[in-house]
Amino acid sequence: MSKYRVELKSSRLLVIFKLLVYVILMLSVLNWQSESIQYQLLLQMLTMTVITFCFFKTVFYYRDQKLTPVIFTQGGEWLEVAIDGQISWRMTDKSRVSGLLLFIHLISPLNPRHSKWCLIYKDQVTKRDFRRLCRAVIYQQQTTGID
């Protein structure tokens, strides 16, 4: 099986999604019925401050985060290449494909109880790599139970 190296980059779609959630949360706090609880204005201001803090914290954390390159095969082998070493994973049939996002479920080959989800947005990789990843996920779904 061929091995493919994928360089992940930051995603605009993720930032837009976070911004949309932030706006919805802020509008819902501002839409509270007036004077329904004591010190409501203070509680609204405090809630909006916490939401704003969390939003900026996640945006700046994501912006400064270094994304590690990935080497994968269509057969489901997944290798994260970091500066201090490599981490091996295996793709499962729980992984899903959508038009803008890949939900990739990974398990450790050494300990099957250790698993994680990897979300890859369409604009994080090249079109060619996104198609390759989609094919790998679909292959995993189709070969379930055959092993």
Buried b (16+ CB within 10 A) or exposed e, 88-105: ebbbbebbebeeebbebb
Domain ranges of the chain: 3-9+67-142, 12-64
Contact, 67 vs 99, CB < 8 A? no
Q: Is residue 70 exposed (0-12), middle (13-18) or buried (19+ Cβ within 10 Å)?
A: buried
The residue ranges of the chain whose pLDDT is under 50 are: 147
Q: What residue ranges in the chain does DSSP mark as E strands?
A: 3-6, 70-73, 77-82, 85-91, 96-97, 101-107, 115-121
pLDDT at position 97 is 94
Contact, 127 vs 120, CB < 8 A? no
pLDDT at position 86 is 85
Question: pLDDT tens digits, residue range 77-117?
Answer: 999 888 788 889 999 999 999 999 999 999 999 988 999 99
Give the three-state DSSP class for 91.
strand
Least Cα distance to 139 among 68, 72, 89, 87 occurs for 72
Instruction: With residue 19 as reference, give the H or E element that holds it.
Output: helix 12-30
pLDDT at position 145 is 57
pLDDT at position 28 is 92
| pTM tops 0.85, yes or no | no
